[in-house]
Structure 1
Amino acid sequence: MSLPPALAELVEDFEAVGPKDRLQLLLELSQELPDLPDRYADAAGSMEQVHECQSPLFLAVEVDEDADRRVHLFFSAPPEAPTTRGFAGIMHTGLDGEPASEVLAVPDDFYTALGLTQAVSPLRIRGMAAMLARIKKQVRAAVAG
């Protein structure tokens, strides 16, 4: 599986530990999700909601105009939703700053390599898959437009 380096490193971290520790890693990533810049202060009005997530999650994608077309990700998820925030943390840590071509090349089911299916519900996994799908959709639109 070909993944951007930061995302590949996260997958290795998750693969190296058991199911209980994977959940702990996910919770740690939830705490590392950066705050939103002011331009996204009104998340519901300025960002796309990922309805498949069990908790309210909003995301926005910006793509640089330079040759690399680097992707920048922004997420809004409530602190009381650590699993959702953790998934957003995985996306942010693993994909933010990567070229659009690398983000678009991430396999849609890369999350299976994280081994979280034993630690979280299928509904939550569905939310993570939807996050990646929405990110890719926004990247494609930015690159095309």
Structure 2
Amino acid sequence: MSDVLPEAFAEIADDFHALTGRDRLQLLLEFANGLPELPERYAEHPELLEPVPECQSPIFLATEVEGSGRDAIARLFFSAPPEAPTTRGFAAILAEALDGRTVGEVIDTPETVTGELGLAEVVSLLRLNGMAGMLARIKRQLREKAGL
């Protein structure tokens, strides 16, 4: 396990750290607005998505693996209501940083990544734990689907 942030996460963290508190919150809301829509295969079958009970707001996720093993490509999909912008923002950050990466890169992402964004001063620890819960579920699903 590496404590080095994946490149995309490092870039996002740099963006957040370049800002002050309120502007960090604004950037999180911008991420929330950019959360990709669910593809039809999930939008029409929400039962295929896994809930993330660590989140205060209802969020669901699914992963897909293209290939097998650590070199397989990870695909991430999230469903979060518009009235939960913090949760949507976290999901969008995870999607931007990890979707399309190898399963190995995602699995090697340190759990501490949620604290690396500098958001502890603008959102509660409970909300940050929700993002950590999303990451843990993503990793578990990818391990199962990639045969690791």
* Structure 2 counterpart SS, 1:53: coil
When normalised by structure 1's length, the TM-score is 0.94
When the two chains are superposed, the root-mean-square deviation of aligned CA atoms in Å is 1.4
**In the aligned structure 2, how far is the partner of 1:52 from the partner of 1:75?**
15
* Structure 1 counterpart SS, 2:116: helix
Q: CA deviation at 1:43?
A: 5.6
* Structure 2 counterpart SS, 1:106: coil
Q: CA deviation at 1:66?
A: 6.1
Identity of matched residues, % = 53
**Which residue of 41, 44, 47 corresponds with 2:43?**
41
Residue in 2 aligned with 1:75? 78
**Which residue of 14, 17, 24 corresponds with 2:16?**
14
For residues 86-117 of structure 1, give each alpha carbon's deviation from its aligned partner in whole angstroms, at most 9, with x where no partner exists: 00010000000001111011111111111111
* Structure 2 counterpart SS, 1:27: helix
Q: What is the number of residues matched between the two proteins? A: 145
* Structure 1 counterpart SS, 2:26: helix
> Is the 8 Å Cα contact of residues 4 and 98 (structure 1) preserved in structure 2?
no
**Which residue of 95, 100, 104 corresponds with 1:101?**
104
**In the aligned structure 2, how far is the partner of 1:134 from the partner of 1:2?**
20
Runs ≥4 residues deviating over 2 A: none
Structure 1 residue identity aligned to 2:91: A
Name which of structure 1's ranges 113-122 and 58-67 shifts more when overlaid on structure 2. 58-67
Residue in 2 aligned with 1:134? 137
> Is the 8 Å Cα contact of residues 27 and 82 (structure 1) preserved in structure 2?
yes
Structure 2 residue identity aligned to 1:115: G
Q: CA deviation at 1:133?
A: 0.4
Residue in 2 aligned with 1:116? 119
Structure 1: give runs of 5+ residues left out of the alignment. Answer: none
Structure 2: give runs of 5+ residues left out of the alignment. Answer: none
Name which of structure 1's ranges 53-62 and 15-24 shifts more when overlaid on structure 2. 15-24
